[in-house]
Amino acid sequence: MAFPSRPNETGRDAPGIEFSLRWRSSRHARRLLTLGLAALFIATVARRPEFAGLAAPALLLLAAGRSQRRPPRISLRARPSTRRAFEGELVAIDMAVEGQGDDSVQWTLHPGREIDPVGATTADGPQVRFTFSPQRWGRRQIGTMDLVLRDRWRLAEGHLTVELPALDCYPAPAEQRTQVVLSRLPNRLGEHAGRTFGDGIEFAGVREYVPGDRQRSINWPASTRRGRLQVNTFAAERSQDVVLLVDSTSDVGEPGTSALDLALRGAAAAARAYLEGRDRVGVITYHWGAIGWLAPGLGRRQVYRIIDAMLASERGGTGPAYGTSMARLPRAALPPGALVVVFSPLLDQRFIETLRDMRERGFTILVVDVLNADPPVRPRSTDRMARRIWRMEQEAIRFSLRELGVPVVHWDGIQSLDLPLARYTRRPLIASGSRR
Amino acid sequence: MTRAIGPVHVGPVVIGPVDAGTVAIRAAAGLLGAGCVVWAAAPLVHKGWATLALVLAIAGVAAGALRLVLSGVPVPEDAFLLPASLRACLRFLEMLRRVPWEEGAVIALVWLEVMHRSRPWHTAFLGAALIAYLLATHLAESDASPAVLRPQARVLAVGAGLLALGAGAGMLSATGPGPGSALLRLVAAGALIAAAALVLPFVAPPSPRD
């Protein structure tokens, strides 16, 4: 038995769902019955009536307990505080039961995989609240709830086990405050200082006054020095297109800090950072034989769309859009002149070939290497040799990408993304001309 | 980006730090069980597998007490990757929780008592102690307060009366040993139980139905 997954069916005012209870004798009742029957048996066999007296209280209790009311059905309501949470976020679920009468209610939460309970997992009362925290991204089943109703005499127990609704757990975005900005920006209003002059606020230089210039922009000290009127010029403020490319072909490393975990957290952080800078951000997820994408967009909601698209691809779904080849991606998914930020462990040769192909087509690419695992260390010399060869191959891959003009930075998943990217966030990244 | 969900109120904690009341009830259950064993065993007899019954009673009471003490120990859902020693501990804990130790102890104690010659008031005290032991065990394992027994007080009082009447029936002076006196005693015991059945609806009226 389970609760519906649609949120509006378990909303605040939604009626509870009826469940049937399975009643059976409690352990206490079974013990009393054992005592009563054993004593009666002895009384009959040994012809000693004092043992019948010994059986009397136990049997009396059992007989009296039979008259207690036991509701066959109850109404349950489960209301999670949210249906979407980030890794490590605190979530609460409120449980309520109706129709239990005078019976006492005991709840026991059995958390699902990657769900860590916070506080008690057992509680008494008709209305209780459990708190928990999802530990890893993905669609997570909160778990199951065991409900035990006990009659007033505690001789019978009604049992019910229900599956709790699922929860969408988003990867917790890493820390990133700075942005990599291209040297050549499209002619679209934004917050990055472009190379061209415009109406921004960042000082760009001084030039001679021409009729039509605003009087307030006259630089009087410079005019005094040169003897002619000089005006200040400012950099135009532009926005850029950023496409996050997430490689999910390989997931190596410990669960929770694997390459895919880091890729998703890094991509979420990048999406948030660039969207806060008024850039248009999209995502492409690359996995075996299929590509999912979400066209670049603006606004805070785009963060959630991007994470949803990444998780949909991970679940094996198609996401918002679907394809089989990077070469056939529409311009909307990969706009010319966009900055492509790649999160990959660089283990799949086909993906590396795809990166080279994109670079040759003129895209400006920045690779964040999220590989933090090595092959296991074994004492045999052949294993050590294989490990060395593997490392050299990895270094060769990164070297060849750098030779093509693709910067590769390594991120360990612990420190802020600003640190590995610092070299490229201090000044604009030279954009190559798009020949697409 | 973590969003606050507002103040979180956690429900009443049942498993967690054990309070003094719970410890007292668990200790009471263990002591009552031990007292029942001593009461039923003394004086020691060596006939009709009494020694085996004594061993079983001691094992049942001890294991039951240990189960109550370890009731708060959590069990991981997936024990596959745990070390062998920890897996063995978990298996022992599971065995401790599955086997009905108290039932076995009760049967062994009744068997020990019947191995002695007829001593009705001794048996009546054992019956009272056994009921107290079972109630204390129930309170300890369900972490309930003794107040939950309040609705059963009248029934328990009637049961105590029946226990005393049963002991009195056991002390009926028959004219001599033989099938007649035994039948008389059994008829008396049956009459007691029938009387209890007649009294019961007035002592414990059924709950009002909706």
Residue with tokens 């020990």: B112
φ, ψ for residue B45, nearest 5 deg: -120, 160
| β pairing state of A104-111 and A138-141 | unpaired
pLDDT tens per residue across span B4-53? 333 333 334 344 556 778 889 999 999 999 999 999 988 887 777 888 99
Interface probe for B, chosen from A47, A54, A114, A169 (most Cβ of B below 10 Å), is: A54
pLDDT tens per residue across span A264-280? 999 999 999 999 988 99
For the ranges A327-336, B9-18, B137-146, the lowest mean pLDDT is seen at B9-18
Q: Look up residue A313 and give its two tokens.
A: 């691809």
Contacts of B148 in chain A (CB under 8 A): 104, 152, 154
Residue A343 CA to residue B15 CA, distance in Å, equals 44
Mean pLDDT of chain A: 85
Residue A131 CA to residue A121 CA, distance in Å, equals 9
Residues 141-170 of chain A whose Cβ lies under 8 A from any Cβ of chain B: 150, 152-154
Residue type, B83: P
Contacts of B5 in chain A (CB under 8 A): 81-82, 89-92
pLDDT at B207 over 80: no
Does pTM surpass 0.90? no
3-state secondary structure of B199: helix
Residue with tokens 């995989």: A113
- CA A84 to chain B, closest CA, distance in angstroms equals 10
ipTM for the whole complex:
0.80
Judge whether B137 is closer than 8 Å to chain A, CB to CB: yes
pLDDT tens per residue across span A375-400? 888 888 888 888 899 999 999 999 99
Q: What is the CATH class of A7-21+70-170? A: mainly beta
CB contact under 8 A, B165 and A81: no
Most confident of the ranges A69-73, B22-26, B102-106, B179-183: B102-106
- CA B21 to chain A, closest CA, distance in angstroms equals 17
DSSP state of B14: S
CB contact under 8 A, B124 and A50: yes
Q: Look up residue A389 and give its two tokens.
A: 């060869």
User: Half-sphere exposure of A38 toward its Cβ, with a 13 Å CA cutoff?
Assistant: 21
pLDDT band, very low/low/confident/very high, at A5 (cuts 50, 70, 90): low
Contacts of A60 in chain B (CB under 8 A): 155, 158-159, 162, 196, 200
pLDDT at A13 over 80: no
pLDDT tens per residue across span A225-234? 999 999 999 8
* Res A267: pLDDT: 93
pLDDT band, very low/low/confident/very high, at B196 (cuts 50, 70, 90): low
Average pLDDT over residues A322-345: 82
* Res B9: pLDDT: 36
At the topology level, CATH places domain A241-425 in Rossmann fold (3.40.50)
| Dihedral angle sign, alpha carbons of residues A5, A6, A12, A17 | negative
Neighbours of B27 (CB within 10 A): 15
* Res B144: pLDDT: 81
Q: Which of A143, A133, A116 is nearest to A172 (CA)?
A: A133
Interface probe for A, chosen from B156, B193, B202, B209 (most Cβ of A below 10 Å), is: B193
Average pLDDT over residues A194-214: 85
* Res B80: pLDDT: 76
Q: Are A80 and A165 in contact (CB under 8 A)?
A: yes
Average pLDDT over residues B105-120: 88
CB contact under 8 A, A172 and B185: no
Rg for chain B, CA atoms, rounded: 23
pLDDT at B174 over 60: no
pLDDT at B181 over 70: no
Residue type, A416: S
Torsion angle defined by CA atoms of residues A260, A265, A267 and A272, in that order, rounded to the nearest 10 degrees: 170
Residue type, B113: E
pLDDT at A222 over 90: yes
pLDDT tens per residue across span A37-58? 888 888 878 878 788 888 888 8
Residue B46 CA to residue A428 CA, distance in Å, equals 97
Judge whether B198 is closer than 8 Å to chain A, CB to CB: no
pLDDT tens per residue across span A173-184? 889 998 888 888
pLDDT at A337 over 70: yes
Better-scored residue on pLDDT, A235 or B136: B136
CA of A14: how far to CAs of A18, A98, B170, in Å?
12, 13, 63
For the ranges A127-131, A352-356, B1-5, the lowest mean pLDDT is seen at B1-5
pLDDT tens per residue across span B146-164? 888 888 888 888 888 888 8
A34, A89, A128 member nearest B11 (Cβ):
A128
CB contact under 8 A, A58 and B131: yes
* Res A436: pLDDT: 41
- CA A41 to chain B, closest CA, distance in angstroms equals 10
For the ranges A94-98, A146-150, A231-235, B48-52, the lowest mean pLDDT is seen at B48-52
How far does chain A reach from its first CA to its final CA, in angstroms?
A: 55
What lies within 8 Å, CB to CB, of B111 at 6+ separation is A38, A42, B48, B49, B50, B53
* Res B3: pLDDT: 37
